[in-house]
Amino acid sequence: MKLAIYDKKGKEIEKVDLPAEIFDVPFNADLVHQVAVSMASSARSNTAHAKDRSEVSGGGKKPWKQKGTGRARHGSTRSPIWVGGGTTHGPRNERNYDKKINKKVKAKSLAIILSQKARDNEIVLIDSLSLNEIKTKEAVSIINSLAKNDSLKGLKTKKNNAGIISLSERNENTEKSFRNISNLKMDLVQNLNISDLLKYKYLVLVNPKESFEILTGRVKTGKVTENNK
């Protein structure tokens, strides 16, 4: 599969062949779902916490004597059957929601999503996004130039989650210029994960040659970064 590389003015420079091991992998919905569920569960913030009978206050004294009152026997007002007592089987903040997924499975799922985006014409290649200064106006101009292509107009018109701009290396001017554009996300290629790729429509790869090398290494070795565990 061939894809065009654009410059910052939206002009097509050349066409390149996409690496088959990254962009020509058959779709597997079950595998993608498995990894997506695992990542969402592992990212879950565990804050809900209910007190059990050992944590609520009061109840140190037996409410009434064991026999002779005609009432049911009770040993503590902290019992779950009492109002104000502990909670039985309530949510606890020590619960671990992490779900383990093999690195190779996660790497393959990344290739599956990238391949599907390539088939859906949602991959954008741009030769460079280096900016001489931090200027959001120039960043918006670049996006508008790319959006002149009918297949990429969503970069400009989509109000939310329009695309991810992936850099092969850090560039402070570029990152700070694009971060004020609310419908775009800026990140490094080595941090790409299927959660973001499923959430955002377009993937803009800057410096395609280096980006392809990084992605190929991740897919072949199953390597993941700290951000993707």
State phi, psi for 228 to the nearest 5 degrees. Answer: -110, 5
Q: What's the confidence (pLDDT) of residue 165?
A: 94
Q: Taking residues 163-187, report their average pLDDT.
A: 92
Indicate the burial class of 68 (C-beta count within 10 angstroms; 0-12, 13-18, 19 or more). exposed
Axis crossing angle, helix 103-119 with helix 208-221, rounded to the nearest 10: 140
One-letter amino acid for residue 135 of the chain: K
> Is 184's pLDDT higher than 50?
yes
> Any idea where the domains of the chain sit in the sequence?
2-44+99-228, 48-96
Q: What's the confidence (pLDDT) of residue 18?
A: 93
Domain 2-44+99-228 = CATH 3.10.290.10: no
Confidence band of 150 (pLDDT split at 50, 70, 90): confident
Segments of the chain assigned E as strands: 2-6, 12-17, 123-126, 163-167, 184-188, 202-206
> Is 142's pLDDT higher than 90?
yes
Mean pLDDT score of the chain, rounded to an integer?
91
Q: Which secondary structure element, helix H or strand E, spans residue 172, and what is its range?
A: helix 172-178
Confidence band of 203 (pLDDT split at 50, 70, 90): very high
> Is 152's pLDDT higher than 90?
no
> Is 64's pLDDT higher than 90?
yes
- The answer, as to whether pTM is greater than 0.85, is no
